[in-house]
Structure 1
Amino acid sequence: MENAPIDGLEALERHLNVLVEKPETPFDAKLFDDVELQLTPTNTPPLLPR
């Protein structure tokens, strides 16, 4: 079974990188929510080694 793409994952990764570089950046909880709602036991393991 092929993993379905996770919409918004790239935007979340970009946001996390900005937060690391500029901690004063406002936290965008919607990005986390959008990705979290798509996570399943099947598509989560490929994210872990990142």
Structure 2
Amino acid sequence: MTDAQLGLLVATPIIIVFAVALRRMGAVRTTGAVVAVAASVAIAAVLFFTQ
């Protein structure tokens, strides 16, 4: 596993936690949080498998 892949495995859950925290605080709507999580997972998957 490369350093870039390890970074993706660390950064993606952090993004998801932030999205959930912002949703619970009422800073973003549910659809915004879902889109943020889905986009981060999709981007991480593409980058992980193309490294």
Relative to the length of structure 2, the TM-score reads: 0.42
Give the structure with the larger helix fraction: 2
Q: TM-score, normalised by structure 1?
A: 0.42
